[in-house]
Amino acid sequence: MGEARTDQQADESRELSSQMARLVIERAAPDELLTFDEVAEEYYADPQSTLMLNKKDEAVGFGLELALLTPFALALAEFVIGFVGDLLRDVAKDQAKSAVSGALKRVLRARTAQASPPDEVELTKEQRTRIFMAAREQAARLGLDEDRAVLLGNAIIGVLGN
């Protein structure tokens, strides 16, 4: 499990994070969609500096004071994708145990009706709550105030559906 991530895995993770963050920004701060790609490039080039700059509400171009949510949405998307991945691994382990048990019973000629695993995984209310709480806590650790942390947490849950 302690394998190094390949470039392909890193690219896939970045693509997923960007897609999720774009959907979050679409819900939470649609006016930022015009600059999303540029801010994402800056974020991926130097995440810490981009987050620090936006925490300070520093002037950006023409003296305009603007604290963007986009870098925080990108950081939260990376975090949430890892968190949801862990949740789904747990679900897959449980389903695999059931499938292995069913296969063993069939090998031993025991009759059992085993349903095939579902194509889609639906998050439970408890899982959605855990994801929201984890996202909100991570947003607070990144320096967002409570209102903006809740805004992004709700947007993430909205993106995940259910």
Buried b (16+ CB within 10 A) or exposed e, 130-142: ebbebbbebbeeb
Single-letter residue type at 38:
E
Residue 61 has pLDDT above 70, yes or no: no
> Could you report the per-residue pLDDT of 2-59, keeping only the tens digit for each?
456 688 888 898 999 999 999 999 999 999 999 999 999 999 999 999 888 776 554 4
Within 8 A by CB and 6+ apart from 108, the residues are none
Q: What is the mean pLDDT of the chain?
A: 81
Confidence class of residue 141 from pLDDT cuts 50, 70 and 90? very high
Residue that wins the pLDDT comparison between 119 and 72: 72
pLDDT band at 114 (very low <50, low <70, confident <90, very high): very low
Identity at 92, one-letter amino acid code: A
Among 60-64, 76-80, 101-105, 119-123, the range scoring the smallest mean pLDDT is 60-64
Tens-place pLDDT, residues 64-103: 445 799 999 999 999 999 999 888 888 778 777 777 766 6
Judged by DSSP in three states, 72 sits in: helix
Predicted TM-score (pTM) above 0.85: no
